Structure 1
Amino acid sequence: MVGDGRPSNARDDGIQVLRRAAAALDEIATAPGRLRLVDLHSRLGLAKSTARRLLVGLVEVGFAAVDDDGRIVLGDRLLGLVNADAAHITSAFRSTLERVAEATGETVDLSVYRGGQMLFIDQIESPHRLRAVSAIGGRFTVCDTANGKAVLALLDDDDVEQVLAALEPGQADRVRTEIRTIRTERVAFDRDEHTDGISAAGIAGRAAGGNIVAISVPAPTGRFSAHSDRIVAALHEALESPVWTD
């Protein structure tokens, strides 16, 4: 028995269901509108009947939805919770973003780690005619972006290795080397990796609610190289903001 009077195996079964539901939502968020039931059960390593029951439960509580073609997306109830959370984060970080934008003269992005990717939730655009702009609501990968690599540097080694397992061995080794540097210097870089002609620097930390949040400054590579010291200095100053929880 456990403290609430339930048998321990019932508690364990409940935790397993929650873990499976979280894993399913991560997969759906990573490929919204592109997965069907057959993809979900394959990615989760579950029997098709188990995956179907899991999906039915998620749909019933509004955390997932299935369109007429059988493609799965996040449900309105979950999106409402995510949007409320994002609104809280953007409000808390807005003044910090403004200071970085004023110090650098470049675009400044705010993103949060969700489903193994970086979800962009706020942005201040550069006044330059030639500038880097990412769509709010867009998702970026973590291994070839400044904000993503900054987040990886916060994770435990086991979690990092799970992410790097999808990469070619040479690329994984390069990212590991970068992570060791980021953990010391606190700033990560993307030099023409995610988008040709665009470079970026980024920082990350933990915020209220256990969220992992990143601030990044992307710019055309030539201008980024010329002003990288100023950008890095502004990001280091942003790390001193009280908005971070650790």
Structure 2
Amino acid sequence: MATAEENRQVDPESRDGLQVLSRAASALDEIATAPGQLRLVDIGAQLGLAKSTARRLLVGLVDVGFAAVDSAGRYRLGDRLLGLSSADGAHLAAAVRPVIEAVADATGETVDVSVLRGDQMWFVDQIESTHRLRAVSAIGGRFPLLGTANGKAALAALDDAELDAVLARQSSDMARRLRDQISPVRAGGLAFDRDEHTAGISAAGIAGRLPGGHVVAVSVPAPTDRFTLREEVIVEALRAAAAAAVWESAAR
């Protein structure tokens, strides 16, 4: 006789519920990747959903406050979800704060903390440089994985199965480019962005896991001329950050 647990595993309603949750999570990932840019038809196409199915899904997300839609029909993350994310971000930022304070003291440059979320890096904390000419990113902003020090470092901190899952969501060309950028990071322990994401700005970064599994990157961006002159100091400070006790294991 089948047990209650076995019955639950084959229950069609349970499977349907899991499918809805999976679709909702995928829709939120798409919205977070391009906030305020995607319409219902765009999200439906990217998820491979019929227009009616996508509409029901997005109406539900808007109703519970996880998504919001403007008068032009473009979606962004909702205030309720952002409130939950902000609380999570504040917790992660607090855990890493002593680490970035040490890096800022050692380098005199801006130090950023970002978290891997879906296919982007989400900025949760920053200590600004006191230099008049400095690199600054908005807290709550999102950066791509490709061509950024924090994105490369975070991907390099994933295990092979996790990395394959991220790359599977990319185009074949993007997956190849990301994999090519990760190899030297795993070999050397640090990731670099030399005028790749923003002309005139270079950066270095490390990443590791916090207790709970979050992949968090610490990066130091600076005007390229000054970064080049002080690269050795920046690298030394980041290597010390990678060895800090806050991580579950040392950053690669």
Q: TM-score, normalised by structure 2?
A: 0.89
Deviations 1:77-115 (A, max 9, x none): 111100000110111111111000011111101111123
- Which residue type is aligned with residue 5 of structure 2? G
3-state SS in 2 of match to 1:119: strand
The correspondence for 1:159, drawn from 162, 165, 190, is 165
Output the CA distance in 1 between the equivalents of 2:50 and 2:196: 38
| Secondary structure of 2:244's aligned partner | coil
Say whether residues 1:65 and 2:62 are aligned partners. no
Which residue number in structure 2 is paired with residue 83 of structure 1? Answer: 86
Deviation at 1:3, TM superposition (A): 1.4
User: Shift in Å at residue 164 of structure 1?
Assistant: 5.3
Please provide the CA RMSD for this pair.
1.9
Looking at structure 1, the residues matched to 6 and 214 of structure 2 have their Cα atoms a distance apart, in angstroms, of 29
The 2-side partners of 1:241 and 1:163 are apart by 32
Structure 1 stretches of at least 4 aligned residues deviating more than 6 Å after TM superposition:
none
2:121 corresponds in structure 1 to 118
Give the letter for the 1:154 counterpart: A
Q: Could you tell me the percent identity over the aligned residues?
A: 62
Return the offset for 1:12: 2.5
Which residue in the other structure is 1:54 paired with?
A: 57
Q: 1: CA distance between counterparts of 2:82 and 2:6?
A: 31
1:150-190 C-alpha deviation (Å, 9 max, x unpaired): 11112334235336526469xx35x4333122113221000
3-state DSSP class of the match of 2:218?
strand
Give the whole-Å Cα distance in 2 for the aligned partners of 1:37 and 1:14.
21
The 5 A counterparts of 1:1-246 are 3=5, 5-6=7-8, 8=10, 9-155=12-158, 156=160, 157-162=163-168, 165=171, 167=173, 172-173=176-177, 175-246=178-249
3-state DSSP of counterpart to 2:38: coil
Alpha-carbon distance between aligned partners in 2 of 1:201 and 1:31, rounded to the nearest angstrom: 25
Deviations along 1:96-137, one digit per CA (max 9) or x if unpaired, are 110000111111011111231111111111111111111112
SS of 1:6's partner is: helix
1:51-77 C-alpha deviation (Å, 9 max, x unpaired): 111112212222112222222111111
Displacement, 1:138?
A: 1.6
Tell me the CA shift for residue 5 of structure 1: 4.7
Q: Which sections of structure 2, spanning at least 5 residues, go unmatched? A: none
Cα drift, residue 192 of structure 1? 0.6
Q: 1:3 to 1:230 in 2, by over 3 A?
A: same
**TM-score using structure 1 length:** 0.91
